[in-house]
Amino acid sequence: MQIKKIILVTLFVLTFAAPSWGLERVNRLGVGTSNQLLNDMRAISFKLQKSRSLAIGGLVGVNTDTNSGGHGFGLKLYRMIFDEPQLNFYSSAMFGLINKKRAGASDYSGFQIDLTLGSEFSFQGLQSLGFSFEFGFSMDNVNDFRIQSAGYNFITAGLHFYI
């Protein structure tokens, strides 16, 4: 069922990607959501484009549930590689600290480092919304140190409303 949803969303994006239009976002703050933290916690995300080639961002997620709660936060640095009329391509690095409670088991906590390449795009007529997708590698030490490939679709990687 999950694969069907991903295929449907991908086909939707590919169908309507032609009218998308990338924008100049220097000195604009983007606030939205991301789900990149390994503890599967929905996080509030922000992104501030400092110049045409550099942006900074962050993630904050909190859940106070005593059985399955936790917290996580991360800082992210974006380096723009190049712009196209419809997309902005970038590389990014994220460092995050995460904690997750588990019912009947001990809590786990650790750090997460992501090194990714990605893109952000907007649809024509919705210039204040930015959709991102990223792929690359993720390292963490939650239970044991591990390195794994990462792929974040535009729902997971980030959806930002630019002010």
Where residue 158 sits, what CATH number does that domain have?
Answer: 2.40.160.20
24's tokens: 């100049």
Global pTM value: 0.77
In a domain, 107, yes or no: yes
Q: Which residue has the higher pLDDT, 106 or 31?
A: 31
In a domain, 92, yes or no: yes
Per-residue CA distances from 146 to 111, 114, 130 (Å): 11, 12, 31
pLDDT for residue 58? 94
Identity of the amino acid at 91: S
Q: Which domain holds residue 76?
A: 21-162
| Whole-number percent of the chain with pLDDT over 70 | 83
In a domain, 6, yes or no: no
Number of domains making up the chain: 1
In a domain, 9, yes or no: no
Mean pLDDT of the 72-83 span: 92
pLDDT for residue 119? 92
The strand pairing partners of 63, in sequence order, are: 70
